[in-house]
Structure 1
Amino acid sequence: MSLPQPLPIVPTTDEIVPAIQRIIAQCNDVRQEILRTTTPSTAIFDTVMRPLAEVENAVQGELGMLYMLQYGSPSLATQEAFNEARKLYVEAEASWRADAGFFKLLQAARDKSEFETLDTESKHLLEKELLEYKHAGHGLLDSSELDEYSRENMAIKDLEMSFQQNIARENGGVWFTREELDGLPAEELAKWKDGPEDGEQPGRGEPKKFVPFANGGTPAVLTYAHRPETRKRMFLADNLKLAENKPLFEEIVKRRAVQAHRMKYLTHADFRIEKRMVKTTEWLEEFLGQLRKSLCPRGTSEIEVLQRRRLDELRENGQVLEQKDSQKFYPWDKRYYERLVEQEFGVDQAKTSEFFPLEQTATGMLGIFAALLELRFDPIPNESLADKVIWHDTVRVFSVWEGKDGGFIGYLYFDLLWRENKYRGNQSVNIQCGYLRPDGSRQHPATILMCSFPTLTPARCALLKQHQVVTLFHEMGHGIHDLLAKTKYVRFHGYHLPPDFGEMPSVMLENWCWMKDVLKGLSCHYTTVDDSYLAAWRKQHPGECDPPKKIPDNLVDRLVKHRYFNRGLYYLYILSISIFDMQIHSLRTEKQIADLDVRKLWYDIREEIEGMDFSECRKGFAFGTFTHLTAGYDVCYYAYLCCTAMAQDLFLSVFASDPYNTDSWARYRRGILEQGGSQPDLLQMLEDILGRAPNMNALAEALARG
């Protein structure tokens, strides 16, 4: 099969370190040539920044593939090789940022009158690079201080990598008897191994199931297990995992604070906010405070509904509770009673999920994007995918084209299922940014939808509950953003922009997951996927008619009607993490740093904001399972709230009255998606689409209307 652009090559384990060494050497050569041929008097964009940007463009694709391996490679040996390579690259970056001579050239280029004649994206690139050097200490620290500051930053990065590796390799779980797992669907039980608990002799005692924390184990038990003690045991055991990440996290946070003080910032939050859209911690604190006022009362009322359902069930089962227990609501009960209340609404997530098999739903979503944005997605046959272009045999690849003129856009990969050693969350991962080559031709992008949805069982394929359908659509939105961006430089490609704006396009698209025609169009009962699934279903449901091929209208109506059920608690969870993020990164004094108790703060905030009783969880390490705050989202978890507000405003103002209007979508594509991060004033981009300043209270208003 002839492809318009070669697919990126996946390096072997032995090729990883030499590849990074070659990239570093290539970048070093360009930098040395700039330093050799340029002085502050001759420094302009074309002599300093352009050659730097061109080499950055040229090496990014190979570098992107190497970095992908830390998330997607099933091989620990490959991940270890990447860790070695990453260390070399981090050290190289530190040496580049430590170069005072280069900083002087950049500053000189910025000060020249020629700067004002540059295009907007080139101006933005030079100023962004200058900010990187200023954040590395130039203009503030002397040479010895710069060395110490740089070494400390590398030490923090090493701690962050260790933290994330521990999460990826965690493989714990809990042994339960079948009786303890009463209520769990057979398809969930089928995923987990049988046997005696570790240390027990085979043949003694009841047969048990090992329920892992990963691969959907914890959510399944918390959602379906009838016994409160089973849910509690699973939650608390999950809460105790990754104890080794506690000292790492505390060390990271404290070192960040010291580094910020070294740079004469009041806090790490003040340091980081300069690279965000909102720019000031004062604005952020006011935004979070307003959300707290509007969301906490809603969360309280939602807890009351769950508590009433809990007490009703306990009374029905003949249990007598002490008054203190009847006044508390526990986090291990939330999912279970959400499910029961939803069933009272006629919403059965397990039943609904039967109509959303993962692969078919994902492919159906491509059809939606194809229609909205006039695109075409062509699957590349598996036999055309050589071993060197995919990293696992479950990966699928699509070539992406313009629907009108047939022009090539790029490649989209699906890597959707959980597996050992893989990144545990859901994300979009770029492996090749688009950019403009020196000859005027365009390098086209390649991006991965990398998720960890629970694996299939012998009787059925992987199925998505509604919240997972929304997650998939959200992450696919990032991928589409990545594919459609048309920037000059890889630095600004796609969603490579501040996260407190970058999440907005994908959050806005989540609204389509609640449209009746979209849900109906995406659906197909899993028994239509394979004859063996239908045979297994008939065996389990003797005498019943085969299930409908499409989701029934009444199920769709109920889903849409109750779309905001418990959304207050959902957003309060995000708010509590956002407040935690701000507080741990707002340490101003040595005493505050020394006295920081991360664990106490985590559970204090969650209990206060979310309204549940975390008293029995306080010996846990849940903050140690949280990748965002050690993977670039420090002082940025609020992005999900900020972007949801902007996204709601955009949807209601531009799309709600006519969601499929091609003119609106074309304007949105040109004004937001194609721009990537090339514009320095991101809010202005949004204002140009809205015709006014964004309404940052739109999230709370949407919930109130719902």
Structure 2
Amino acid sequence: MSSLPPQPLPLVPSTEEVVPAMQRIIDQYNAVRAQILQTDPSDATFENIMLPLAQVENAIQGEEAMIDMLQYGSPSLDTQEAFNVAQKLQIEARASWNADAAFFRLLQAARERQPESDALDAESQHLLDRELLGYKQAGHGTLNPTELEEYLRRGTEIAELERQFQQNLARENDGVWFTVEELDGVPREDLAKWKDDKENGSSEAQMKKFVPFANGGTIAVLTNAHRPETRKTMFLADNLKLKENKPLFEEIIRRRAKQAQFLKYPTHADFRIQGRMVKTTEWLRGFLSQLKGPLCSRGRAEVEVMQRRRVEDLRARGPDITEEGFPPWDKRYYERLVQQDFAVDQLKISEFFPLEQTATKMLGIFASLLNLRFDPVPTENTKDVIWHDSVRVFSVWDSTKDDPGGTKNSTTADNFIGYLYFDLLWRENKYRGNQSVNIQCGYLRPDGTRQYPATILMCSFPTPTPTSCALLKHHQVVTLFHEMGHGIHDLLARTKYVRFHGYRLPPDFGEMPSMMLENWCWMKDTLQGLSCHYTTLNESYLVEWRKQHPSEPDSPKEIPAELVDTLIEHRHFNRGLYYLYILSISLFDLQIHSLSTEQEINDLNVQKLWYDIREEIESMDFSECRDGFAFGTFSHLTAGYDVCYYAYLCCAAIAHDVFRSVFAPNPYDEDTWDKYRRAILQRGGSKEDLLQMLADFLGRAPNMNALVEGLAS
């Protein structure tokens, strides 16, 4: 029995290797396509048309995904520039493949052949249908050769605009200078992270600090700064960043609309919805409309609670102050004060969730729920296969398959599942959000053996302070659990083709498994099991904590039960506003992609629409923000989530339904988890009818009103 994984860690290409590697990938595709094109349409089958292409796609996916990852994770701008060159080669190659009418005809012929097509297994049939849909959405069967060439050229131009948008976002590094006095209320731990300019102040209070928008800077000020003018200044400055993305975004939206019409679709929304689970824009509009009434009502009530607290606070500062509208820069601050009134102290809670320890303990929860084991890969074995020295790697094993001795600690090839990477902290030039990134899909090789997956939790949690480690607020604990859920989904999938591996499925279903798992972050035993007061990790942390809390006893190692009880009791506070924010973006996403006439395209005012919708839906006063460019900071709509932001609401509804009806009676039942693993997680996107897959698991159709019902419970 070997103690080593049967598959080595994927290699990270050097800067010099990125472009040649992409060219090699393209050459492999070109070679197999040239071979396939020698087939006469009358002889076309899945086995001689689609299968050879799928096998090459399987074989090269890992190398291609690793190159793609470097745009998010590499700390080197030279490497990111090499990726940009490689990506342009890739876009040009895909455009040439999409333009290949002869290949489209072979796919059609293979699809039409009977009875061979009917004899295919469901995943292979799904793969063929998906490939055909891609060619049809590229214009085949609708456009003549000249039109097709023009359509694909425009698509390449849109992709370049999207790349520029994302690059601007990743490299944004601006912020605001404040005096320490103006930052009154912001925790010392945050102040210690920010660079200062002592020459600008004659006293410590007048010394200036540079607060970056990124790395948690904006959030720290909006949540904690006592002075209303400081919060307002920070919000409005953050709101004005990335002005350069406004014309890019508007041009992308206009071009998408024209592309859809060129392809004879009424709107870009109608074009994109074909590849989603829900299939029609009519269903989507009905779903969002169904949510709008009850969520807006709840949101208004939540704003009223914060407004009362705000007026009370402002009048204590100046009795003549009267404020009617509720500005968005005050939401986080008064949300915190109301929570404190509930005895929910998020800062105190965060002390019990140091990032590294919390993440590692989360692995223990997934190990228990899904019969897995996570073994740290020694750092000496990862020197040449990671992209930053803060990255940690785990080998993942299935502990349900006993070894010959009857233990559940076997490390044979049969038990190996794949690799999980942690890349959790913010750094310069890194992707600013939180995501799970696949760098190797699993698939079935031609010889029947299996390629194992590798996936990254790539997050941007704020970096540690000089006297402490990185700590997570409860909402960040939920975020980490969510992204880890994506990673586990990716690891456990067992599909034939990389096209459907893991969460490579329509996002309006793909977010569901992770959202369902968020429920465990509101369970008392889960939170206590994850907790560990950071001062117990390092003596220097404890010394510093004692200096800041001279009259308090040392904190217990585990989070006190009363803190958890209070947090859970008020778990629905401001959840209406949380979902209303998602609803705002979903409606914005749908509306900008529903332009159906030349006049609508020309009259589009993205800036006005963004703030109109947010003000209407979220019940806050955005009147002083309307010259901003917040939509220019929103990566989803230029990174594959166009006409898809609603996925978070759709999946939240399904997730609530699955949890309440299947897991809530016994959240740790091993048989239930085994059924879920096999019926949902292992199948990835291999099933064409995802709603039916879900109905088979539930024993009925999903309840799409479960989100609203869950908030009322």
User: What is the TM-score with the length of structure 1 in the denominator?
Assistant: 0.98
Displacement after TM superposition at 1:458 (Å) = 1.6
Whether contact under 8 Å (1:215, 1:452) holds in the other structure is yes
Displacement after TM superposition at 1:545 (Å) = 2.1
Name the SS for the 1:615 alignment partner: coil
Per the alignment, residue 63 of structure 1 pairs with: 64
The answer to whether 1:31 aligns with 2:27 is no
Per the alignment, residue 99 of structure 1 pairs with: 100
Per the alignment, residue 117 of structure 1 pairs with: 119
Provide the aligned C-alpha RMSD in A. 1.3
Code of the residue aligned with 1:391 in structure 2: it is W
Structure 1's 523 and 117: CA in aligned 2 closer, same or farther, altered over 3 A?
same
Per the alignment, residue 362 of structure 1 pairs with: 359
Whether contact under 8 Å (1:260, 1:267) holds in the other structure is yes
Per the alignment, residue 4 of structure 1 pairs with: 6
Partners of 2:207 and 2:175 in 1: CA distance: 16
Code of the residue aligned with 2:442 in structure 1: it is G
Partners of 1:547 and 1:252 in 2: CA distance: 52
The 5 Å alignment of 1:235-314 reads 235-314=235-314
> Structure 1 regions of 5+ residues with no counterpart?
none
Whether contact under 8 Å (2:49, 2:110) holds in the other structure is yes
Code of the residue aligned with 1:348 in structure 2: it is D
Name the SS for the 2:375 alignment partner: strand
Per the alignment, residue 332 of structure 2 pairs with: 335
Name the SS for the 1:356 alignment partner: coil
Code of the residue aligned with 1:339 in structure 2: it is R
Whether contact under 8 Å (2:180, 2:205) holds in the other structure is no
Per the alignment, residue 642 of structure 1 pairs with: 650
The 5 Å alignment of 1:401-416 reads 401-405=397-401, 406=410, 407-416=415-424
Partners of 1:72 and 1:20 in 2: CA distance: 18
Per the alignment, residue 41 of structure 2 pairs with: 40
The 5 Å alignment of 1:175-254 reads 175-195=177-197, 206-254=206-254
Name the SS for the 2:37 alignment partner: helix
User: What is the TM-score with the length of structure 2 in the denominator?
Assistant: 0.97
Whether contact under 8 Å (1:195, 1:202) holds in the other structure is no
Indicate which of 675, 685, 692 corresponds to 1:677. 685
Partners of 2:173 and 2:558 in 1: CA distance: 37
Partners of 2:49 and 2:6 in 1: CA distance: 33
Per the alignment, residue 425 of structure 2 pairs with: 417
Name the SS for the 1:41 alignment partner: helix
Code of the residue aligned with 2:92 in structure 1: it is E
Cα deviation, 1:36-75, whole Å, max 9, x if unaligned, reads 2x11100000000000000000000000100000000001
Name the SS for the 1:184 alignment partner: coil
Displacement after TM superposition at 1:147 (Å) = 0.7
Code of the residue aligned with 2:371 in structure 1: it is E
Displacement after TM superposition at 1:404 (Å) = 2.2
Per the alignment, residue 352 of structure 1 pairs with: 349
Code of the residue aligned with 1:161 in structure 2: it is R
Partners of 1:433 and 1:89 in 2: CA distance: 19
Cα deviation, 1:602-649, whole Å, max 9, x if unaligned, reads 000000000000000000000000000000000000000000000000
Cα deviation, 1:574-598, whole Å, max 9, x if unaligned, reads 0000000000000000010000000
Partners of 1:651 and 1:586 in 2: CA distance: 34
Displacement after TM superposition at 1:321 (Å) = 2.3
Displacement after TM superposition at 1:318 (Å) = 2.6
Structure 1's 562 and 23: CA in aligned 2 closer, same or farther, altered over 3 A?
same
Displacement after TM superposition at 1:319 (Å) = 3.6
Code of the residue aligned with 1:50 in structure 2: it is L
The answer to whether 1:90 aligns with 2:91 is yes
Cα deviation, 1:163-189, whole Å, max 9, x if unaligned, reads 000000000000000110000110010
Displacement after TM superposition at 1:532 (Å) = 1.6
Whether contact under 8 Å (1:477, 1:505) holds in the other structure is yes
Per the alignment, residue 406 of structure 2 pairs with: none
Cα deviation, 1:651-670, whole Å, max 9, x if unaligned, reads 00100000011111011000
The answer to whether 1:473 aligns with 2:481 is yes
The 5 Å alignment of 1:575-594 reads 575-594=583-602
Indicate which of 429, 437, 441 corresponds to 2:449. 441
Partners of 1:102 and 1:46 in 2: CA distance: 14
Partners of 1:662 and 1:205 in 2: CA distance: 57
Per the alignment, residue 400 of structure 1 pairs with: 396
Displacement after TM superposition at 1:540 (Å) = 2.4
The answer to whether 1:389 aligns with 2:397 is no
Whether contact under 8 Å (1:181, 1:226) holds in the other structure is yes
Whether contact under 8 Å (1:27, 1:55) holds in the other structure is yes
Code of the residue aligned with 2:6 in structure 1: it is P
Whether contact under 8 Å (1:171, 1:214) holds in the other structure is yes
Name the SS for the 2:418 alignment partner: strand
Per the alignment, residue 664 of structure 1 pairs with: 672
Code of the residue aligned with 2:187 in structure 1: it is P
Cα deviation, 1:110-160, whole Å, max 9, x if unaligned, reads 001110000000000000000000000000111111111011000000000
Name the SS for the 1:616 alignment partner: coil
Name the SS for the 2:393 alignment partner: strand
Indicate which of 591, 608, 611 corresponds to 1:600. 608
Code of the residue aligned with 1:398 in structure 2: it is F
Displacement after TM superposition at 1:413 (Å) = 0.1
Whether contact under 8 Å (2:181, 2:206) holds in the other structure is no
Displacement after TM superposition at 1:310 (Å) = 0.3
Partners of 1:315 and 1:546 in 2: CA distance: 36
Partners of 2:198 and 2:630 in 1: CA distance: 28
Partners of 1:54 and 1:383 in 2: CA distance: 34
Indicate which of 143, 163, 166 corresponds to 2:145. 143
Partners of 1:234 and 1:181 in 2: CA distance: 11
Number of residue pairs matched by the alignment: 698
Indicate which of 613, 616, 623 corresponds to 2:621. 613
Structure 1's 205 and 569: CA in aligned 2 closer, same or farther, altered over 3 A?
closer
Displacement after TM superposition at 1:206 (Å) = 3.0
